[in-house]
Amino acid sequence: MMCTTERYNKKCKNLTANKTTPIKSLRNELVRDGTARYFRWRKRSVTSRADKIPVTELTGISKLVDIPDCFNDSIQSHLRCGCRTLLCNTYEYKTGKIGGKKFTAGETLRVGSRCGSVVTMVSGVSSIYGLTKRFYRVICPCGKFIDFAIVTWFPSPHYPDRDPLTVEIGVRGLDVNNITQMNIVPLFNIQPSRIAVELKCTNQKMCMLRIEGLDSNPLFDN
């Protein structure tokens, strides 16, 4: 129940333009939003938000770097053009957009603070969560390029209420910011869902809240 309440509160917060008079501002925004939706329905026109194509790309300033040797084989397996990684140029980015949502690499997950580096994807049939360390763009000699994310994955999530809304990850004393194992993942494999994380030190667990979408897990199909 708290997850759905938090999503509703976030929608109200985004609609509140004037924070000094929140109730009045929210009331006016709801009237404008309802009026706009009504007239779009009368005109049979699509929303401006639907007209925008969500992009998945790396953005911001980049710098030329060397690919770590441990990632050469993984990157090579994703190059469908036949080029060799030794002949490619690799650029590191700080930010990227996945399905139009902005993510930042290298941020530290702290108690009580927002982190833009937490991402999620489906591995097999189940959702997993991780912390993005770097963004790479590999440009081949043939002119093609592919974007990657370097991610340290958290332990598998569990669902105490057996629904895709309540998601917890057991930390058990693990320093989630310094997990040594890292994997390279194509940017298109990551889901365009921003994640709010509540890190509870006393219970040694993290509570994950998707801003968009729901988790995938076999137990929801039973």
Indicate the average pLDDT of the chain: 83
**Residue 42, CB-side half-sphere exposure with 13 Å CA sphere:** 6
Whether residue 13 is found in the same domain as residue 88: no
Do 133 and 195 fall within a single domain? yes
Is residue 26 within 8 A of residue 15, CB to CB? The reply is yes
Task: Count how many Cα atoms sit within 13 Å of the Cα of residue 189 in the half-sphere of its side chain.
Answer: 19
User: Beta partners for 63?
Assistant: 92
- Is residue 202 within a helix (H) or strand (E), and if so which, with residue range? none
Domain range holding 22?
Answer: 2-51
**At which residue do the structure tokens 């911001």 appear?**
60
- Residue 9 pLDDT more than 80? no
Is 42 part of a structural domain of the chain?
yes
* pLDDT tens digit sequence for 24-35: 777 777 777 777
Which residues are paired to 146 by β-bridges? 138
Are 13 and 121 in the same domain? no
Say whether pTM exceeds 0.85. no
Q: Could you tell me if residue 41 is inside a domain?
A: yes
Same domain, 75 and 157: yes
Question: Would 221 be classed as within a structural domain?
Answer: no
Task: Say whether both 34 and 86 belong to one domain.
Answer: no
pLDDT tens digits, 125-147 = 899 999 999 999 999 999 899 99
Residues 45 and 71 in one domain: no
Please say whether the beta carbons of 138 and 83 come within 8 A: no
Question: Is residue 222 included in any domain, yes or no?
Answer: no
Asked which of 14, 31, 51 is the last residue of a domain, the reply is 51
Opening angle at CA 91, ends 210 and 119, nearest 5: 10
57-73 residue pLDDT tens: 999 899 999 988 888 89
